[in-house]
Amino acid sequence: MKILIVDDNKDILLLVKTILELSNFDATTVDNGKDALALCKKNQYSLIFLDLMMDGMDGYTVVKELRKNTDYQQTPVIALTAKAYHKDKETVLANGFTDHLSKPFRTEDILNATKKYSN
């Protein structure tokens, strides 16, 4: 299972990648939305963890562009965000994301989400 992790925080990228790789998942990281979209044109990812608030192109724009591509219309995209209120989750889901994980997250949160969407 190929997983893409998109976040402008290098520590978050390293943490999520390490969690996934220790559980034998193939994880790729990128620190901005533009590069994420470029990678998605070259590769097919089974799951994407995507930060909402990034410089340049935010997560909402990235998921909107991904959903235009037939290869990514059904791909699970999980928002990783500090926005943890119920209303924030509703906004995320209404804008093309599959699920929502609040920062700070636990190792189990990442693994449970990965297993949930690894069909």
% the chain with pLDDT above 70: 97
**What is the pLDDT at residue 70?**
92
pTM of the predicted structure, to 2 decimals: 0.95
**What is the pLDDT at residue 82?**
83
Tokens 């979209």: give the residue.
Answer: 37
CA angle 81, 14, 64 (to 5 degrees): 40
| pLDDT of residue 85 exceeding 90 | no
Give CA–CA dist 100/35, Å, rounded: 22
DSSP state of 7: -
| pLDDT of residue 119 exceeding 90 | no
Which domains does the chain possess? 2-116 (3.40.50.2300)
**What is the pLDDT at residue 84?**
64
